Amino acid sequence: MARILNIHNHSLGEKYLGAPIMFQKSKIQTHFGLLKSVEKRIKAWSCRLLSQAGRTTLVKAVGEPIPLYQMATFLIPKNLILKAKYHARTNFIGAKCPTNASWAWKCLVHIKEEIKPFILWVVGDGHFIDPWCDWWIPKVGVAKPKPNTIPDLTLKVADCIDHDLRRWNIATLSQHFDHSSIEKIVRIPLSSAACSDRRVWDLSRDGRFSTKSAYHVLRGRTSNPQENLWKNFWRVKIPYRVQLFEWKSAMNSIHVREILNQRIHIDTDLCPYCQAEPESIMHALIFCPFIITIWATPKLPPCTNFGVGTHMRDWISFWLGEPPYPNANEKIQKFPLVACLLWSIWVGRNNLIHSVWNPPPTEWIKINTDGAWNPENNDGGKGFIVRNHESKFLFVVAAYSSFVSAEEAEVRCIWSAVKKAWEMKYRKVMIESDAAVVINQINDGNFGGRWNTYALLQDINNWRLKFDEISFKFIQRSCNGTAHDIAQWGKNSMLNMCWANPPIWLMASLGRDAAIQAL
């Protein structure tokens, strides 16, 4: 055939795509070139003046792909692979470190043990979780239950679940665990449809491991050159949302047009009020002609000490910095007043600039939801209001419950709203919430989050198929004020209520929505 087609035969060499063509008697010798190839490149890199980031990039981009083709084609001898050598019959999390292990493996195991408390199980059917060895109880760093008797080593988490009713079996839990552990276990939500257990990284919102989060855990906090300034700042007794707003302003993280234009190139960076200057943070809060008149009030501290190019961090340093600033103590005492005024100015601007609550399309039902969380007691409220395309009030629900995070409060509220909508036989439903993270999770189908929301998000996804149409939309807090007031009422009253007619305390919020909508 080669002679007929005039093909010239040539030797293919010893390797093809890095894989050996000529096999030797020993499998180890046949595939030993893998180690030599990687070692050769590492020696070449070691003579270069590369940063840590550069070395890491080379290892990931060049070093890791070297064995891919060969490992996909052949069964590599156990002597060349760490998994086969140290944890052939278990996973990396359960791997041990023998005394004769290599230095590289000892380092890996050491780091693994440091981050292991943050690798948490999300309970599905419970068949894969060992209650005594695995980390599955929801509390960062302390995720194993305490037994009230001699531990039963054959017990699985599945044995503590009533799989028919899909809820925790209190009798079984009481038989094996102490009271404090049971209180934490029963707060783990179980999906109405059984699913497999899965591991998540407890230090990220989406449950995926990230080198950055692990690095910060292992590295700990470092000193900040402005540590004294920020210590004074966080000690000021003002509402937390005002504190956070001031801090974000100082860090240039407020979405004013000047910053947005630098990042995503919007149509214009001019102030939407005066249309005269770019909307920087200082302009929006202090120097805008429609705002500066507020600072001219005699009872307020003057802003003439600040130039147009002043950064908000410098502004905070002026009010909270240590001497030699004159009258430093007096300025610190006035800072809460100034901070709250800035917050009010920002909220007022947003209420007038951004969109307001609008009724849904014809034949649709709109449900606005919100959750309120108290981090001190791990409790809070959830509430939602149902209105039709004519803005007509249908009913409102407020409830008090226990939450471990603000995200859980938002998810549980949406879960309750979707369930109620199905019970009321609504066919076209629009869910609105001011929790962007939760709405993105639902719309993206990303349910790999934390232990306390996974099962609830899974239920929401399953229930979507029961409606003709259902949508989940993120809105600004200014458009969700009524639902916010309902959630706050549930948190403060510690009651569970449902009204078919608007309660008196809600009339102001409903009137505000109607007035802003008219504008």
What is the pLDDT at residue 18?
66
**pLDDT of amino acid 143:** 60
Q: Nearest to residue 239, comparing CAs of 340, 156, 359, 170?
A: 340
10-residue averages of pLDDT along the chain (519 residues):
78 67 72 78 75 73 79 72 77 83 83 84 88 77 74 88 90 89 88 87 85 79 59 80 84 85 78 81 84 69 57 74 52 75 82 71 93 91 94 93 92 95 94 92 81 89 92 86 92 93 87 60
pLDDT of amino acid 240: 80
Question: 55-68 burial by CB neighbour count: b if 16+ within 10 A, else e?
Answer: eeebeeeeeeebbe
Task: Check residue 78 and give its pLDDT.
Answer: 64
153-158 contacts, C-beta under 8 A, 24 or more apart: 155/131, 156/126, 156/127, 156/128, 156/129, 156/130, 156/131, 157/123, 157/126, 157/127, 157/129, 157/130, 157/131, 157/197, 158/125, 158/126, 158/127, 158/129
pLDDT at 515: 53
DSSP state of 464: G
- What is the rounded CA–CA span in Å between residue 113 and residue 300? 55
Q: What is the pLDDT of residue 222?
A: 47
- Distance separating alpha carbons of residues 453 and 438, to the nearest angstrom: 10
What is the pLDDT, as a whole number, of residue 43?
Answer: 79
Find, among 17, 20, 42, the residue nearest to 31 by Cα.
20
Q: Which amino acid is at 327?
A: N
Tokens of 260: 């947005």
Q: Which domains does the chain have, with CATH numbers?
A: 15-89 (no CATH), 115-209 (no CATH), 227-355 (no CATH), 365-515 (3.30.420.10)
Residues sharing a CB contact under 8 Å with residue 455, sequence separation 6 or more, in sequence order: 122, 123, 189, 190, 191
pTM, entire model: 0.52
The per-residue pLDDT for 430 is 94
The number of CA neighbours under 13 Å toward the Cβ of 308 is 5
**How far apart are the C-alpha atoms of 454 and 435, rounded to whole Å?**
16
